[in-house]
Structure 1
C-alpha cells in the first residue's frame, strides 16, 4: 500500500461548485491512488506521520487537478497539427491531470469508413489506457460519427469500452443527417460532444443552433466558438431550450464565453458549464490553456474563482463520469498545490485568479503519486510546497 499526505493547506477547493471551498480542513490523505481522508492535521496526525510521502503545502491552496474537456490527442504524446512532441506531459505542469479527447481528428489520413473510425477509436482508447504521459489520465478514443456507422457498430464500440463520441467532422451532406448516429451512440452509453459554430478545419462544416436542437448531443462543444462563435441569439436558444453541457474553451471567443458564463450563473445553469482548452489546434500547444481560462473567466465575470475552478474539475467529472475532479473520500487522488505567483498583488491562489493572474503551481499529484514540484510552465509560486522524503529530481521546474 502506497500512502501520501498533503498537509498545511491554507485553503482546500472541493471541485463542487455548490460548496467550492471546504471549510476547516488542511490535510488530505491518499492510499493507492484514492483519497481516503479529508480533515484537520490535528485529527489525522497518525496518518500523516505514517504516510510514505508527505507534501507540506506551506499555507497555500490545495485543489483537484484540472480536467481539460477538449484536448486533441491522437496516439502517443505528440500532436501532428503542431508537430510537437511531449505536449501532454507539459500540460501536467499547467495543473491538468486529465484530458478528454473530442475525437482523434488530427490523425494523418483519418479514416471515414465504419471499420476505420471504429478501429481508430478503439486503438486510441486502448493505447492511452496503458500510457500516462507525465502521469495524466487521457480519456481517449472518441469515435468520430460518420454516416456509415450502424447501430451494430455502436454496440461493438460499447463492448470495446469506448464511451466518447464527437459529431462535426463526418461526411454528412447536412449535419442534421447525423441524428441516428447521435441517438445510437447515446443509447449505447456513449457521451456525445458536438462541434458548434463556424468550421474549424478544412472539410468540416458550420453547425448552427438549428442543427444542435435536432442532434441533441450531451455536450455543446466550444459553445463560445471553436474558434468562431455562434450568434448571441443562437447561443441563448441552446442555453434556454436544451440541457446540453455548455463547454467554454480557451481557443474560442472570450467575449462570448464571459457572457455565456454570466447568463448561466444568473439563471441557475452553472452546473452545465464545463471548461476545456480546445488545443492543440491552430491556436497552438497551450500547457496553461485551462488555468488561463479559469483566470480570465474569474477576473472578467466577477464569479468566485473557486466555482470557476469547479467548472474545470468537478463539473467535467460529473458530465463525463470520470473518477477524479473532486477533493473527497473515494475520488481519484489527482491534486494540485498552488499559490499566488511571485510579484502578484494577491496573497493566495484564489486572489490571483480573481484579478486574472495565473497561480504558481508547486506540486502536481496524479494517482496519489507526486509527478512534479515547481512547475516549469507557471510563474513561480510565492510559497513552495516541500516534500518528505526530498524529491530533488522533481524540484527543478525552471
Structure 2
C-alpha cells in the first residue's frame, strides 16, 4: 500500500485520555494502512521525501477519526426508516471513520425467531466486511437478544465472526429473565450492550438501573437516554456502583449527558464514558451527531477539546478492543483534519469547540488513504489541507 505523510500539523490530538495532546510532533507517516511514525519534519525528512502522497494540513489540527459507538446500519449504505441513501458516506464527512452497530433494528421485517435473529446478525456482519461506505469501517452484525437463543447459538455466532450483542428489544416477559443468558453470551465472547432509559420508537423495553445492574452488560447504552433518560439517581447508581462503560449519545438527553460527564470527571472515571450517536433514529440521519456531542461536551461540560475527543475515539477503542481511535505507532491510519470555521472568533479547532462552534473538517483519512478533502457537511475551515504526490 501507498505511504502517506501528513505534514505541518499545528495541534495533534492523541485520542488517549491520559495524554490527550501530543505537543512534540508536527508530522505523521502512515504506511500499509497504519501509523508508522510520529515526530517532527526534521526527524522524518527522509520519510516525507519517500512518501507516495503528502497531505499538507497548513497548521490545522489532526485527530484520530471519530468512532460512532452506537449506530444503526441495515444491510447497506441506506436507512429505510429515514428513506435516506448514502447516509454512512455522509457520516464520514462528519469525521466518523468507524461505526459500531448497536443492532440492525431498522431492517424492514426484522425477524424475531431464533434462526432469523442469528441469520440477520451473520449477514449484516458479512455485508460490511465487503463494503466501506466513503471509506468507513462498519462493525456490523449485532445480535439482538431473544429468549430463544441458547449457548450453542452464541457459540455458533462467534464462529461466524459475530462479536456484538444487544439486550432490550427481545420478547422477554421480565427483563431479568435474561440475566443468565447475558452471562452465557459474555462467556462465549460476545460484547454485550444494554438499552437504558425509556422505550424507543424502534420498540425497546424501558430499563432502569436496578435491572441493568443485575443484567450486567459490558456497556450501558445511551445512559443519557435513548431518547428518554433514566432518573438522575439511576445514572448515579450505574456510575458509582458498577464498572461498566457508560455511553452518552446525541439522540438522548443533553442535560443528563452533561451531568453524567461532569460527575465522571469528578470521580476520575472518564475512561468509562464513551460517545455515540444512536442514529439513524427518530432524530433522523445526523452526519455531524458525534462531532456535535464532542463540541457540546467541550463547551458545556466543560472538558478540554482533546479530552472530549478522546471520549469518542480512544475510549471507544478501549472498550470495544479496536485498533483505531488513537494517534500512535501501530494504530489504524484513521485521521481527521479540522480547523476553526471561517467567520467565527476562534483561531484553531480547539478554541472553536470551547466556544461551542462546529469546526471545519478539511480532510478525512481512513486506512491511511485520503477519502475526502473538505467536508460537505461542516463549515469551511480557515486553513485548507492540500494533497500532493510525493517527491520520490
Normalised-by-shorter TM-score class: over 0.9
Whether the 8 Å CA contact 1:146–1:181 is kept in 2: the answer is no
Question: Is residue 138 of structure 2 the alignment partner of residue 130 of structure 1?
Answer: no
Q: Matches of 2:312 and 2:140 in 1, distance apart?
A: 18
Whether the 8 Å CA contact 2:195–2:204 is kept in 1: the answer is no
Write the deviation string for residues 123-177 of structure 1: whole angstroms up to 9, x where unpaired: 0001101110000010000000000000000000111111111110011111111
Give, in angstroms, the shift of residue 59 of structure 1: 0.3
Question: Is residue 277 of structure 2 the alignment partner of residue 265 of structure 1?
Answer: no
Which secondary structure state, in structure 2, belongs to the residue aligned with residue 43 of structure 1? coil
Match of 1:197 in 2: 197
Match of 2:58 in 1: 58
Write the deviation string for residues 354-373 of structure 1: whole angstroms up to 9, x where unpaired: 11111100000000100000
Q: Matches of 1:311 and 1:20 in 2, distance apart?
A: 10
Which secondary structure state, in structure 2, belongs to the residue aligned with residue 166 of structure 1? strand
Match of 1:330 in 2: 330
Whether the 8 Å CA contact 2:11–2:59 is kept in 1: the answer is yes
Which secondary structure state, in structure 1, belongs to the residue aligned with residue 43 of structure 2? helix
Give, in angstroms, the shift of residue 185 of structure 1: 1.5
Give, in angstroms, the shift of residue 208 of structure 1: 1.0
Q: Matches of 2:345 and 2:186 in 1, distance apart?
A: 47
Q: Matches of 2:286 and 2:107 in 1, distance apart?
A: 19
Whether the 8 Å CA contact 1:245–1:319 is kept in 2: the answer is yes
Which secondary structure state, in structure 1, belongs to the residue aligned with residue 330 of structure 2? coil
Match of 2:315 in 1: 315
Match of 2:114 in 1: 114
The change in CA–CA distance for 1:238 and 1:331 in structure 2 (over 3 A counts) is same
Which secondary structure state, in structure 2, belongs to the residue aligned with residue 342 of structure 1? coil
Question: Is residue 30 of structure 2 the alignment partner of residue 30 of structure 1?
Answer: yes
Q: Matches of 2:123 and 2:222 in 1, distance apart?
A: 26
Q: Matches of 2:41 and 2:278 in 1, distance apart?
A: 39
Which secondary structure state, in structure 2, belongs to the residue aligned with residue 293 of structure 1? helix
Aligned-residue CA RMSD (Å): 0.9
Match of 1:47 in 2: 47
Give, in angstroms, the shift of residue 337 of structure 1: 0.5
Whether the 8 Å CA contact 1:135–1:371 is kept in 2: the answer is yes
Whether the 8 Å CA contact 2:61–2:338 is kept in 1: the answer is yes
Q: Matches of 1:183 and 1:152 in 2, distance apart?
A: 14
Q: How many pairs were matched up?
A: 390
Q: Matches of 1:70 and 1:345 in 2, distance apart?
A: 32
Instruction: List runs of 5+ in structure 1 lacking aligned partners.
Output: 391-398
Give, in angstroms, the shift of residue 178 of structure 1: 1.1
Match of 1:353 in 2: 353
Show the 5 A alignment for 1:268-287: 268-287=268-287
Give, in angstroms, the shift of residue 49 of structure 1: 1.1
Give, in angstroms, the shift of residue 389 of structure 1: 3.1
Whether the 8 Å CA contact 2:106–2:202 is kept in 1: the answer is no
Q: Matches of 2:185 and 2:103 in 1, distance apart?
A: 14
Q: Matches of 1:45 and 1:331 in 2, distance apart?
A: 22
Instruction: List runs of 5+ in structure 2 lacking aligned partners.
Output: none
Match of 2:68 in 1: 68
Question: Is residue 102 of structure 2 the alignment partner of residue 102 of structure 1?
Answer: yes
Q: Would you identify which runs of 4 or more consecutive aligned residues in structure 1 move more than 3 Å?
A: none
Q: Matches of 2:203 and 2:61 in 1, distance apart?
A: 44
Give, in angstroms, the shift of residue 202 of structure 1: 5.2
Show the 5 A alignment for 1:359-398: 359-389=359-389
The change in CA–CA distance for 1:359 and 1:63 in structure 2 (over 3 A counts) is same
